[in-house]
Amino acid sequence: MSEADAYAAYKALRFRNNGGEPICPHKGCEHHRCYTLTTARQERRAREGFVQPLYKCAACRRQFSVTSRRIFASRKRKFRDILYSFMVFVNGVSGVAALRARRADGTSYKTAFVAEGKIREAIAGSRTRRELGGDRTVDVDGKAVGGHRRPWKYRKGQKTYGGRSQSVVVVRERGHGGESRVTVVEGHETKAYKFVEETIIDGSHIVSDGGFDFSALGHHETVIHSIGFQIDGIDNNQAESLFARLQRAEEGVYYRICGHYLDLYAEEVSWREDYRRLDNGELWRRLIAAVADHPQSRRWTGYWQRWQYEGAKRRKRTCITPQNV
């Protein structure tokens, strides 16, 4: 794809609700009467190659582009490179490490890391929030993710863990077209129970592994994993399948998942597991649509600048000054 073709593909999905025609993205406007703005600077740059068009709203008189007020606003990379990075991302079965994306895209590690973080945030924002269950059986399970084992140290006969370990709780429907929901909790079973209660339709058939009692929400069955993964036809293998992909991502792709962004990694794995039957081209188009619709990120905008500023503040607090001597 050329840069113009990549821009046309992105624009078609960005404004797909208006037939591909631009819509004002500014808050409180969203007007459909917009036109292409031509400036002398753009005409001068157009002689050297493709230039991203600018648009102007006829109502609020403000200028915008296809990435204005979206998660890739103020981007410096070409559209062709961005769409190629999306292709690399969807080709990963359990995920794509930032170092792998850096080598494929020809960018720095910082650029690849922030770009993947923005993609995961857009994926989390694109998921539907409907309640699960009803006529479908729902599997519920939890898994500890993060931290690292220290088998050479023992405390009261048990292995100790370093780092920050959190629990991921999954609620997943069975059958074709079933969806899953994930959340991250830390040492509070009541939060996990509240999440399951808000996610599942009352009266649904629930299967868990015995960690929680959901009999108050509907028909509840339990499988004891210390005996087997399936006992008398009862199992929660749909939830175990999602955790298997999450474990492969943690141990084989990312090697260590930071606890601050575990929710985004869990949403990515849930998205990959739900749409595992779709071809990569359809996943690529869905990913572009999710990125194009998601608003500008507060979590990732200026990420490395904030990190350097906070690091400088820490160094300033700990340095020795004449007043401290």
Tens of pLDDT, residue by residue over 85-98, are 999 999 999 999 99
Instruction: With respect to residue 32, please indicate whether it lies within any of the assigned structural domains.
Output: no
DSSP-assigned states of every residue in 19-58: TT-----STTT--S-EEEE--HHHHHHHTTS----EEEET
Q: Which of 49, 48, 122 is nearest to 85 (CA)?
A: 122
Cα 12 to Cα 18, 109, 200, 274, 288, distances in angstroms? 9, 30, 35, 25, 10
Instruction: With respect to residue 18, please indicate whether it lies within any of the assigned structural domains.
Output: yes
**pTM of the model as a whole:** 0.85
CA–CA separation, 139 vs 228, rounded Å? 16
Q: Which of 112, 108, 100 is nearest to 255 (CA)?
A: 100
Instruction: With respect to residue 37, please indicate whether it lies within any of the assigned structural domains.
Output: no
pLDDT of 6 reads 92
pLDDT of 97 reads 94
Domains contained in the chain, number: 2
Residue pair 171/196 in contact (Cβ under 8 Å)? The answer is: yes
pLDDT of 186 reads 77
CA–CA separation, 225 vs 231, rounded Å? 9
Shared-domain flag, residues 75 and 171:
no
Which residue ranges in the chain fall short of pLDDT 50?
159, 319-325
Instruction: With respect to residue 132, please indicate whether it lies within any of the assigned structural domains.
Output: no
| Strand 205-208 with 220-222, pairing | parallel
pLDDT of 159 reads 47
pLDDT of 306 reads 84
Q: Which of 23, 24, 36, 115 is nearest to 62 (CA)?
A: 24
Instruction: With respect to residue 50, please indicate whether it lies within any of the assigned structural domains.
Output: no
pLDDT of 53 reads 87
Shared-domain flag, residues 204 and 268:
no
φ/ψ region of 203 (left if φ > 0, alpha if ψ in -120 to 50, else beta) reads left
What distance separates the 2 farthest-apart alpha carbons in the chain? 75
Expressed as residue numbers, the domain containing 251 is 137-257
CB atoms within 10 A of CB 191: 15
Select from 257, 284, 302 the last residue of a domain. 257
Shared-domain flag, residues 246 and 303:
no
Instruction: With respect to residue 310, please indicate whether it lies within any of the assigned structural domains.
Output: yes
Q: Angle at CA 299, nearest 5°, toward 266 and 297?
A: 100
Residues 30-76: tens digit of each pLDDT = 667 888 888 777 777 677 678 888 899 988 888 999 999 999 988 88
Instruction: Give the distance, in angstroms, between the CA of residue 173 and the centroid of all CA atoms in the same chain.
Output: 20
CA–CA separation, 208 vs 224, rounded Å? 9
Shared-domain flag, residues 178 and 204:
yes
Shared-domain flag, residues 196 and 213:
yes
Tokens representing 150 are 């220290």
| Tokens 């194009």, located at residue | 292
